[in-house]
Amino acid sequence: MVRTRLMVALRLRVIAAAFAVIALGLAGPAGSGAFSSAGDGSTFQELSATGPGAAAGPSSTATSSCVWKWKKKIVIRKVHRHGKVKRIRKVRYYRVCVPVKPPVVDPARLGVRAFEYGLTLSRQTLVAGDTIVELNNAGEDAHNLHITRIDSGADVAIPETPASAINKVRFDTTPGTYRLFCSLPDHAALGMDATIEVTAP
């Protein structure tokens, strides 16, 4: 009989202690209730600073080079309580800025066939931006190719290329008119001279 009463009293104490733990948890700092039942105030603070409830999130400083995404991590903590070691499982939320890969845009391509004496272009217009110009020397002599902006005189060149050889140059174009010619003596005057229109994307 005495033993039974003792057992009941002990059980009541255990229940009371459990309620106290819950009450302690609920009385924790205000914020997202996701972690409150754990009753671990210090961790809660840390979580609320980076958790989904954080008012001044990194989103306010997000740049176009990365996108903020929520991540979840399970954290197991050992807490000493009432002489016992308790394992507390928590879900920790944090944000990471995932780099955004710029869309891969294929370069514009222009083929230039050179011969004595002329240039044949694979196209008459180009879209501005990353461009590859390929000189295909279909003649018997060596030829080079200059690509010059008519208005500014900015010049990109493919060096002298022997007969039956192919050479390339890659550069950025801007909208405008470009002149293509071979700079070897008289070659442009003899016909190795052409223009191409570069249009805005």
Residues near Cu ion, by CB under 5 A: 143, 182, 184, 187
C-beta separation of 37 from 21 below 8 A: no
CB of 190 to Cu ion, least distance (A): 8
C-beta separation of 140 from 116 below 8 A: yes
| Residue with smaller CB distance to Cu ion, 143 or 158 | 143
Q: Which amino acid is at 90?
A: K
CA–CA separation, 170 vs 149, rounded Å? 15
DSSP letter, residue 52: T
| Residue with smaller CB distance to Cu ion, 48 or 148 | 148
CB of 69 to Cu ion, least distance (A): 56
CB of 58 to Cu ion, least distance (A): 58
CB of 156 to Cu ion, least distance (A): 16
CA–CA separation, 47 vs 55, rounded Å? 13
Closest-CB residue for Cu ion? 182
| Residue with smaller CB distance to Cu ion, 173 or 187 | 187
C-beta separation of 161 from 141 below 8 A: no
DSSP letter, residue 64: T
| Residue with smaller CB distance to Cu ion, 138 or 184 | 184
